[in-house]
């Protein structure tokens, strides 16, 4: 379908460094192309803070956003119109060109979302940040990526719940996209790895997005 933005999808458990990497990609670009970082969690928090105005959310949709932020639950298929509004508002605001790369962080997060997004974006590369539960928990606790300030959902119990949810609902997307012929790049993340380290590992691997 013409007109779909070319996208890179970042996957990984909470604390693995997706948001810092997304920011680094936006700062440096990828494969000689400008990268635009769509941080779904940050967009939801922004929508909640300003009563959903920029995304055009109505009161019921805003309540869906608030519940998701409090509980950490994924937006299910019937709630996808909310995610769609948030994404479309972001794209309208940033206006990516056909040669730009859209870096998706936090969407899609399960099979239903992935299916609904097929007509919206053209995902050409999946970057998987591999971190054990122990490493992820340590990174969150020390805010290694400097992206956890103001997060009410970083208590140990919250982190354990999000790690379990990632393994059960989100990690299967790796094989989903691999089976479609999408390039999958796996990067191991340690407790001290910074966004610069992870970005450099991407660069050394020489992955490109055509």
Percent of residues, the chain, with pLDDT higher than 70: 93
pLDDT in tens, 45-102: 999 999 988 899 999 999 999 988 888 788 999 999 999 999 999 999 999 888 999 9
Show the domains of the chain with their CATH numbers.
Answer: 6-38+100-204 (3.40.50.300)
- The answer, yes or no, to whether residue 2 has pLDDT greater than 60, is no
Structure-token pair, residue 53: 């105005």
Read off the pLDDT of each residue in 114-126 and give the average, rounded to a whole number. 93
Average pLDDT, the chain: 90
pLDDT in tens, 121-162: 999 999 999 999 999 999 998 889 777 676 666 678 888 989
Read off the pLDDT of each residue in 170-174 and give the average, rounded to a whole number. 97
pLDDT recorded at residue 210: 63
pLDDT band, residue 31 (cuts 50/70/90) = confident
Decide: 156 and 137 in contact? Cβ < 8 Å.
Answer: yes
User: Rounded distance, CA 127 to CA 187, Å?
Assistant: 7
Better-scored residue on pLDDT, 194 or 156: 194
């Amino acid at each position: 379908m013409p007109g779909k933005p070319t996208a890179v999808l970042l996957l990984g458990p909470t604390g693995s460094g997706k948001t810092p990497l997304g920011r680094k990609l936006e700062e440096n670009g990828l494969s000689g192309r400008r990268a635009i970082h769509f941080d779904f969690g940050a967009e939801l928090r922004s929508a909640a803070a300003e009563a959903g105005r920029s995304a055009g959310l109505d009161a019921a949709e805003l309540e869906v956003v608030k519940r998701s932020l409090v509980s950490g639950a994924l937006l299910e298929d019937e709630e996808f119109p909310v995610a769609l509004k948030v994404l479309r508002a972001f794209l309208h605001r940033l206006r990516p060109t056909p040669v730009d790369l859209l870096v998706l962080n936090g969407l899609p997060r399960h099979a239903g979302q992935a299916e609904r997004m097929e007509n919206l974006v053209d995902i050409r590369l999946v970057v998987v940040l591999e971190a054990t539960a122990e490493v992820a928990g340590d990174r969150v606790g020390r805010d290694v990526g400097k992206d956890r300030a103001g997060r009410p959902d970083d208590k140990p119990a919250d982190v354990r719940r999000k790690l379990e949810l990632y393994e059960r609902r989100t990690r299967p997307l790796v094989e989903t996209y691999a089976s479609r012929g999408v390039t999958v790049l796996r990067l191991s993340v340690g407790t001290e790895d910074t966004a610069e380290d992870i970005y450099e590992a991407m660069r050394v691997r020489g992955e490109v997005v055509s």
